[in-house]
Amino acid sequence: MSSNRPSWAPPERLLLGPGPSAVPARVLQALAAPTLGHLDPAYLAIMDETRRLMRQVFATENELTLAVSGTGSAGMEACLCNLIEPGDEAIVCVNGVFGGRMREVAERYGATVHAVEAEWGRAIDPDAIRRTLQEHPRTKLIGIVHAETSTGVQQPMDEVARLAQEHGALLVVDCVTSLGGVPVPTDEWKADAVYSGTQKCLSCPPGLAPVTFSKRAAEAIRSRRTKVISWYLDVSLLMAYWGSDRVYHHTAPINMTYALREALLMVVEEGLERRFARHQLNHLALRAGLEALGLTYIPDRSLPTLNAVSVPDGIDDAVIRKRLLLEYDIEIGAGLGPFKGRAWRVGLMGHSSSRRSVTTFLAALGTLLRELGWRGGSGDPLDAAGAVYAGHEKSS
Ligand SMILES: *Cc1c(COP(=O)(O)O)cnc(C)c1O
C-alpha cells in the first residue's frame, strides 16, 4: 500500500474521524516556513493578522480574541478558569463526553456545578436550563456544547442565549466541532466566551485553541477577587503579550501560528456562507448514502460536521474500522461511553468535507458490509449520494 515511503514517514490517511481532519498542503507549507523569534516585529504582525482572522471566523468584534497554546481542551480550561472563582455557581449542560469534560474542568477550578443533563444523542432542553436557573438564582455562568462530537448533536442556541441574557449569566460555548463548519455567530448569541480547536473544521494540525471573550467577560475578569488559578492560561497575562504591551509570557508556538493564519485565510477566502453550504451538502449526500445502506442516524439534530450512526446488528464495529484503516487508509471514529461498540462517528470537517471523501468512504463501507454479510438497506449508496449532488447542481 504505502511500501515506497521512507520508514519515518507516516501513511497518508483519509481522515474522516472526529478530528483531526485533513490538512491542506497550503497549511502544511506554512508550518514549514522559517521560525521567527516570538517578539520579532514580523511575527507580531502575523499574530495581529491571525487575531483579525479569528474575529472574522468567530463573527465577533471582541477585542479579547487570541489563540491559546494547546488543543481545544486548553481553550475550554482558559474560558472556565478565567471566569470562575472558587465558590461560584455554574450550570453546565451535559449530553455527551465534552459536556462532561466541561463539568469536570469547572469543578476543578472551584465552581459548584448544577448539571443540566439530556440523554446522549439528544439536545439540551432550554426549559431544563430555565428551571435550574430558577432553583439556583446565584448562577454566574452557563456552559454548553454547541457541537457535541461524542454524539453528533447540534445544539440549538437561540433560546439558551436568551436565557443567559435574561438571567445575567455569562454564556460559555464549546464550538470546537462547529467553528468553520457550522455558523458560530458569537456576537449575535451575545456569548461571553467561545472556544475552539485547530484540528476540526479549521483543518489545521492540532495545537492551538482560538478563544474569544466578550466585553462583559473582560469586565468579569477585571473585577475578580482572586487570582486565576492557572498561571499559564491567565488571560490578563496572555493579553499583555497578544495586546499592545508585547510582554513575554511564554514562547508562542510560532510555526503553529503560521499554520492557523493560513487555515483561517482559507476559510475567509472560501467565504463563511459557502463553506457552511459545502459542509451541509456533503453531509446530506453522506446521509443519503448511509441510509441507502440501511444505517440509521443516532441524534435527533445531526451536525453536518459529525455523523453518528448505529452499527448494524450482527456487524463487528472494530473489524470494520480496522479494515477501513488498513485496507482503505480511511479513518473513522468509534462510539464513546454508552455508544461504545454501537456507533460509528464519521467526520466531514473542513478540508475533509468533500465529494471525494463521501464517495470514497461510502464505496469502501458498502463493500466491507457486503463482505461481512450485511444485507440491509434499500439501494446503492453511491447512487443515493450522487442524486443529492445532482439535485444540488440543478437547483443552483
Ligand atoms: C475535540 C473536542 C474537544 C477537545 O479538543 P482537544 O483538541 O481534543 O483537546 C472539546 N470539545 C469538543 C466538542 C470537541 O469535539
For residue 25, the number of C-alpha atoms closer than 13 Å in the C-beta half-sphere is: 0
**Cα 389 to middle of ligand 1, angstroms:** 30
Going by pLDDT thresholds of 50, 70 and 90, the confidence category of residue 3 is low
Q: What's at 168, amino acid-wise?
A: G
Q: How far is CA 155 from CA 96, 149, 177, 182, in A?
A: 12, 11, 12, 11
The confidence score (pLDDT) of residue 221 equals 97
pLDDT of 314 higher than 70 = yes
* Residue located nearest, by CA, to atom 5 of ligand 1: 72
pLDDT in tens, 321-344: 999 999 999 999 999 999 999 999
Collapsing DSSP to helix, strand or coil, 223 comes out as coil
Tell me: the pLDDT tens digits for 78-131?
A: 999 999 999 999 999 999 999 999 999 999 999 999 999 999 999 999 999 999
Atom of ligand 1 minimally distant from the CA of 199: 7
Q: Which atom of ligand 1 lies at the shortest distance from residue 148's CA?
A: 13
Atom of ligand 1 nearest to the CA of 19: 1
65 C-alpha to ligand 1 centroid (Å): 19
Mind listing the pLDDT tens digit for each residue in 124-149?
999 999 999 999 999 999 999 999 99
Predicted TM-score (pTM) above 0.95: yes
- Sign of the torsion angle spanned by Cα atoms 333, 335, 341, 342: negative
Residues near ligand 1 (Cβ within 6 A): 19, 71-73, 76, 98, 145, 147, 149, 174, 176-177, 197, 206
Tens-digit pLDDT profile for residues 351-395: 999 999 999 999 999 999 999 999 988 899 999 999 999 999 888
Cis ω for the linkage preceding 312 (within 30 of 0): no
Q: What kind and span of H or E run contains 173?
A: strand 170-174
Task: Give the pLDDT score at 235.
Answer: 97
With beta carbons less than 8 A apart as the criterion, state whether 96 and 150 touch.
yes
Judge whether 211 and 78 are in contact, CB under 8 Å: yes
Q: Is 19 helix (H, G, I), strand (E, B) or coil?
A: coil
Q: Which amino acid appears at position 150 of this protein? A: S
Contact 171, 161 (CB under 8 A): yes
Please give the pLDDT value at position 259: 98
Per the CB < 8 A criterion, the answer to whether 351 and 21 are in contact is yes
Atom 3 of ligand 1 has which residue's CA nearest to it?
72
pLDDT band at 19 (very low <50, low <70, confident <90, very high): very high
Tell whether the model's pLDDT for residue 1 goes beyond 80.
Answer: no
Determine the Cα–Cα distance for residues 143 and 35; give it in Å rounded to an integer. 37
- Average predicted confidence (pLDDT) for the chain: 97
Q: What is the mean pLDDT of residues 153-178?
A: 98
- Which residue, by CA, sits nearest to atom 14 of ligand 1? 176
pLDDT confidence of residue 378: 87
Structural domains of the chain, ranges and CATH numbers in brackets = 25-269 (3.40.640.10), 272-395 (3.90.1150.10)
Residue 7 predicted with pLDDT over 80: no
Which DSSP letter does residue 302 get? B
Q: What's residue 89's pLDDT?
A: 98
Residues facing 193 on adjacent strands: 172, 213
99-105 LR contacts (CB < 8 Å, sep 24+): 99/143, 99/144, 99/145, 99/148, 99/174, 101/73, 101/76, 102/76, 102/143, 102/145, 102/172, 102/174, 103/143, 105/73, 105/76, 105/77, 105/80, 105/81
Cα separation of 267 and 199, whole Å? 13
Kindly state the percentage of the chain with pLDDT values over 70.
99
C-alpha cell at position 142: 452557563
Q: Probe ligand 1: pick from 69, 73, 95, 349, max atoms within 8 Å of CB? A: 73
